[in-house]
């Protein structure tokens, strides 16, 4: 899963990004509203964390710009402002959730996971595909009831496939949601990751759809 983080605090922004990466998210950090608006309109993200008090362009204006451009990614507003009017302005602009500073990183992670899951059309937090189980609230995978150990890249690919189980996930879409914007990506990197996943969960669970991408199969 790939997250856009728009936070201008030079200490807090990198700390949030590091905490999200510890939970296997790919994170692009924007330190002002202009960069955030551009990234949100041009990149593929599963969710955005948006501070209201951004320099250059405030958070509400950034969000309004995204929604006018028909960008539907779920947005969690993160701000030190706890007034009702600020919350109303954020929700009217198209926000999906609101978290007031100071906050616990664990709560931020859980809220983001819930936003991504609901945006993918899932009401229940536990998703299944045959012997594979994904608890989207904790981020844990199990195979035949046993914990599955995955690298960050494997987790990102498998979570995308699980959230869209049964549907073809385009190769380019997977690449954009697995790697951060400044990453150097080898041409066969996705195939290598999928190959490792097949060895861990069974080759039959991940189908290759020639010329398009991959599909996770198995009863839910």
- pLDDT tens digits, 146-192: 999 999 999 999 999 999 999 999 999 999 999 998 888 887 899 99
Say yes or no: 113 and 168 in one domain. Answer: no
**DSSP class of 218:** S
Average of per-residue pLDDT across 129-152: 96
- How far apart are alpha carbons 100 and 81 in whole angstroms? 7
Say yes or no: 175 and 158 in one domain. Answer: yes
End of a domain among 100, 119, 138? 119
Number of domains in the chain: 2
Residue 82 has pLDDT above 90, yes or no: no
How many helices and strands in the chain, by DSSP H and E? 8, 12
End of a domain among 119, 143, 158? 119
Give me the domain span that covers residue 169.
Answer: 126-216
Q: Which residue has the tokens 């097949």?
A: 198
Say yes or no: 114 and 158 in one domain. Answer: no
pLDDT band at 59 (very low <50, low <70, confident <90, very high): very high
Say yes or no: 15 and 105 in one domain. Answer: yes
What is the phi-psi region of residue 157: left when phi exceeds 0, alpha when psi lies from -120 to 50, beta otherwise? alpha
Residue 91 has pLDDT above 80, yes or no: yes
> 29-47 pLDDT, tens per residue?
999 999 999 999 999 999 9
156: domain CATH number is: 1.10.10.10
Q: What is the pLDDT of residue 94?
A: 93
List C-alpha distances in Å: 186 to 33, 78, 127, 182, 189.
31, 34, 31, 13, 5
Q: Which residue has the tokens 């706890």?
A: 82
Say yes or no: 107 and 177 in one domain. Answer: no
Angle at 26 between CA 108 and CA 192, to 5 degrees: 140
Average of per-residue pLDDT across 192-204: 96
Q: Quote the distance between the C-alpha of residue 94 and its chain's center.
A: 18
Say yes or no: 37 and 106 in one domain. Answer: yes
pTM: 0.93
| Strands (DSSP E) found in the chain | 2-6, 26-30, 47-51, 75-79, 97-100, 126-129, 132-135, 140-143, 146-147, 169-170, 206-209, 213-216
Say yes or no: 90 and 170 in one domain. Answer: no
Residue 81 has pLDDT above 80, yes or no: no
End of a domain among 101, 119, 137? 119
| Strands (DSSP E) found in 52-168 | 75-79, 97-100, 126-129, 132-135, 140-143, 146-147
End-to-end CA gap in the chain = 21
Say yes or no: 156 and 195 in one domain. Answer: yes
């Amino acid at each position: 899963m790939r997250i856009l983080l728009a936070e201008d605090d030079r200490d807090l922004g990198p700390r949030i990004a590091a905490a999200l990466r510890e939970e296997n998210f790919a994170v692009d950090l924007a330190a002002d509203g202009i960069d955030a608006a551009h990234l949100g309109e041009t990149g593929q993200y599963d969710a955005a964390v948006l501070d209201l008090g951004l320099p250059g362009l405030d958070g509400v204006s950034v969000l309004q710009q995204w929604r006018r451009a028909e960008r539907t990614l779920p947005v969690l507003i993160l701000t030190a402002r706890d007034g009702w009017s600020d919350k109303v302005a954020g929700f009217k602009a198209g926000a999906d959730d609101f978290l007031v500073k100071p906050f616990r990183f664990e709560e931020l992670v859980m809220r983001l996971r819930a936003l991504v899951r609901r945006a993918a059309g899932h009401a229940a937090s536990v998703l299944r595909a045959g012997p594979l189980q994904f608890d989207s609230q904790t981020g844990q995978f199990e195979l035949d009831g046993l914990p599955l150990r995955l690298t960050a890249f494997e987790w990102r690919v498998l979570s995308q496939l699980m959230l869209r189980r049964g549907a073809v996930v385009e190769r380019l879409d997977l690449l954009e949601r697995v790697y951060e914007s400044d990453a150097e990506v080898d041409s066969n990197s996705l195939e290598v990751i999928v190959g490792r996943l097949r060895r861990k969960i069974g080759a039959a669970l991940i189908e290759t759809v020639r010329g398009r991408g991959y599909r996770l199969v198995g009863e839910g």
